[in-house]
Chains A and B, each alone.
Chain A
Amino acid sequence: MYTLKTFTAVMAMMLISVFTSLENGYKVGDIATDFKLENVDGNMVSLSDYSQAKGFIVIFTCNTCPFSVAYEDRIIALDKKYASRGYPVIAIMPNNPAASPGDSMEAMKARAKAKGFTFPYLMDTNQEVYPKYGAVKTPHVYVLQKTKKGNQVKYIGAIDDNYQNPESVNQAYVENAVDALLAGKPITETHTRAIGCTIKV
């Protein structure tokens, strides 16, 4: 009898481990980990540094992906619009510079300066942060809201529904999500997809 119980318990655990290994990264509702990563200004940045923030727009992005480049101005606009309202942009560059030389810290510094980034542009030096979040491509956005339990994931996906032309956007997914959070309303679309560049390991 005990063996049967043990057997069932082992089977259940195996099933759980199979499911967790299939579902990598965060889902909406999960609590996101904090990190300590180097910024282009040489300082180390953590989410916990932002005591006044209500949440964060965490964007995995890089110098070299054409989609990231196409969205640079819109990422700056997001930070300009929402940092003052408590949702600053935190950009994280997840690629391994050895595999993607255009994403070295030097290149990141140059890009941040040329574009006038108003937000931290951090390097995931050990490539440990993006797998925890479950980011698989650039750009890949996670909107987090500060709660008592920690920074809760509220939205995962794309910035909007038209990379080609900001004027042709019908659904500004990230803006809609943050606006809903600020208004205390439920987010209509919590998960979207977009074509992006694979993270280089």
Chain B
Amino acid sequence: MRFILPLLMLLLFACKNDTKAVAKADLQAEVQQMDLEIYDFDGLKNFLNTTSNKTYVVNFWATWCAPCVKELPYFEDLNTQYKNEQVEVILVSLDFPKTYETSLKPFLKEKKLQTKVVALDDANFNSWIPQVHPDWSGAIPATLIYNREKRHFFEKSFTYKELENEVKQFIK
């Protein structure tokens, strides 16, 4: 009789572990099914020029970059608030390709970002960084705001207010 309680507890514990394992497997499966657009710089170029009336805000970031992650909500808010003003935000992730499954996708899943996210996988930095902007040293966060008439580049962190002010210069 005295063995029953530990036995019960053991059984309960085993069950609990099982559900945990199942949940983890589910999450992994979900993450694997997530679509992630991956480009080299030639592919990304399509997002850096426009002939339309829209203003594009292209933010270069990574999940490992703390100041980038801090300002992501501002870009997300901007994308929602200025959708009707012909503004579109594109978040270009510079996460290491080997961590797409383990860091980037789980991060995107958790944050449920509405903004378009693409991953840039092009290790030859020196060839493409100056093509984004001649002033860019390569430090992130970095943001390019452009329309068909002009483009401004910022190697800095933004507050929402600062970001909004810069975008307003493009839509007035």
Interface residues of A in 154-201 (CB under 8 A from B): 157-158, 161-165, 168, 170-171, 173, 192-200
Beta-carbon contact of B67 and A193 below 8 Å? no
Q: With A136-B139, A198-B140 given, is the CB distance from A163 to B129 under 8 Å?
A: no
Taken residue by residue from 65 to 108, chain B's Cβ proximity to chain A (1 for < 8 Å, 0 otherwise) reads as: 11100000000000000000000000000101110000000000
Chain A, Cβ-Cβ closest to B60: A195
A196 to B129, CA, bound (A): 11
- When chains A and B are docked, how far (Å) is the Cα of A153 from the Cα of B129? 22
CB < 8 Å neighbour of B67 from A163, A171, A173, A198: A198
B 130-164 to A, binary, CB cutoff 8 A, 1 in contact else 0:
10000011111100000000000001010000000
Name the distance in Å between A156's Cβ and chain B's nearest Cβ: 10
CB distance from B41 to the nearest CB of A (A): 12
Cβ-based interface call for A29 (8 A) = no
Main SS class of interface, A: loop
Q: Which residues of chain B are within 8 angstroms of A158 by Cβ–Cβ distance?
A: 125-126, 138
CB–CB B138/A194 < 8 A: yes
Cβ of A66 within 8 Å of any chain B Cβ, yes or no, is: yes
User: A65–B67 Cα gap in the complex (Å)?
Assistant: 12
Q: Is the CB of A161 within 8 A of B136?
A: no
In this complex, which of A194, A196, A198, A199 has the most chain B Cβ atoms within 10 angstroms of its Cβ? A198
The answer to whether the Cβ of B64 comes within 8 Å of any Cβ in the partner chain is yes
B157: A residues at CB distance < 8 A: 198
* Cβ contact within 8 Å between A164 and B139: no
A132 to chain B, nearest CB (A): 16
Q: Are B125 and A195 in contact (CB under 8 A)?
A: yes
A198 near B124: Cβ-Cβ < 8 Å: no
CB-nearest residue of chain A to B65: A197
Say yes or no for B123: interface residue by CB 8 A criterion: yes
CB distance from B126 to the nearest CB of A (A): 4
Q: Are B96 and A198 in contact (CB under 8 A)?
A: no
Q: Known contacts A194-B129, A195-B139, A198-B139; can you find 18 more A-B pairs with CB under 8 A?
A: A65-B64, A136-B139, A163-B123, A164-B123, A168-B123, A170-B124, A193-B129, A193-B137, A194-B138, A195-B125, A195-B129, A195-B140, A196-B138, A197-B64, A197-B139, A198-B67, A198-B157, A200-B66
In the complex, 29 of the A-B residue pairs with CB atoms within 8 angstroms, ordered by the A residue number, are A70-B96, A136-B139, A136-B155, A137-B137, A158-B126, A158-B138, A161-B123, A162-B124, A163-B125, A164-B96, A164-B123, A165-B123, A170-B124, A171-B126, A193-B129, A193-B136, A193-B137, A194-B126, A195-B60, A195-B94, A195-B125, A195-B140, A196-B137, A196-B138, A197-B139, A198-B140, A198-B141, A199-B139, A200-B66
